[in-house]
Amino acid sequence: MQGLFITFEGGEGAGKSTQIQYLAETLRASGHDVVLTREPGGSPGAEAVRHVLLSGAAEEFGVRMEAILFAAARSDHVEELIRPAVAAGKTVLCDRFMDSSRVYQGVTGNLEPDFVNTLERVAINGMVPDLTIILDLPAEVGLARARARAASDAPDRYEKEALAIHEKRREAFLEIAAREPQRCKVVDGNQPADAIAMAIQRLVRELDEKQRSDNHNARVVPS
């Protein structure tokens, strides 16, 4: 039986990392074989590209170059880790995926939609998430959290950008959710962590039940 592929998206400081860890523990406790991964990175080839992107080393070469590097990393991650794990029945939880490229490189990077769509198609090669959880919260709240967290650390390439850009990204994630309501579910990130966790668990349970009933129906339909 195929596993599930679930991605987490949202702006800076939305609480993705905490929630993804929490979901991984909950699913493991109920018997799922969970693979926890992230982008950019997640496979040796993609991790090699991660540093180039997040340090800002590629910034001077322009946003097209960065978008291609994100896509190269994603392709490696999909083929080396995600697809084999899902085919083996594992539940893959991924911190950021294709929607981050649509938003960061496409919308706030001002890249032409055709270019972004083509890169996406090549990079994911059919590996569309079964569920994408978009953790939504006001940009100023997220940025304040990200900055507090990074007080000892220098902000990365993307955390340094202005509030208006973060607002635009929030809108862009919400637009994706409105366009693809089957795949994308918005969860309010501006509530206590355990309320967020419950909302996410409910969505995953619904998906799991739907997949089990689809598998069951596929078996009982005469061929």
> Which residues of the shown chain bind ligand TYD in the complex (CB under 6 A)?
12, 16-17, 38-40, 54, 70, 95-96, 100-101, 104-105, 156, 158
Which pair of structure tokens corresponds to residue 168? 């635009």
Closest to ligand TYD by CB, 75 vs 101, is: 101
Q: Cα(1)–Cα(166) distance, rounded to whole angstroms? A: 39
In the complex, the smallest distance separating the C-beta of residue 211 from ligand TYD, rounded to whole angstroms, is: 25
From its phi and psi, is residue 186 left (phi > 0), alpha (psi between -120 and 50) or beta? beta
In the complex, the smallest distance separating the C-beta of residue 15 from ligand TYD, rounded to whole angstroms, is: 9
Closest to ligand TYD by CB, 70 vs 173, is: 70
In the complex, the smallest distance separating the C-beta of residue 44 from ligand TYD, rounded to whole angstroms, is: 17
In the complex, the smallest distance separating the C-beta of residue 192 from ligand TYD, rounded to whole angstroms, is: 20
**DSSP assignment, residue 35?**
E
Q: Cα(52)–Cα(146) distance, rounded to whole angstroms? A: 21
Would you say 94 and 40 are in contact if contact means Cβ atoms under 8 Å apart?
no
Instruction: Name the residue among 92, 101, 51, 52 with its Cα closest to residue 74.
Output: 101
Closest to ligand TYD by CB, 32 vs 96, is: 96
Closest to ligand TYD by CB, 76 vs 95, is: 95
In the complex, the smallest distance separating the C-beta of residue 206 from ligand TYD, rounded to whole angstroms, is: 25
Closest to ligand TYD by CB, 48 vs 88, is: 48
Would you say 32 and 89 are in contact if contact means Cβ atoms under 8 Å apart?
no
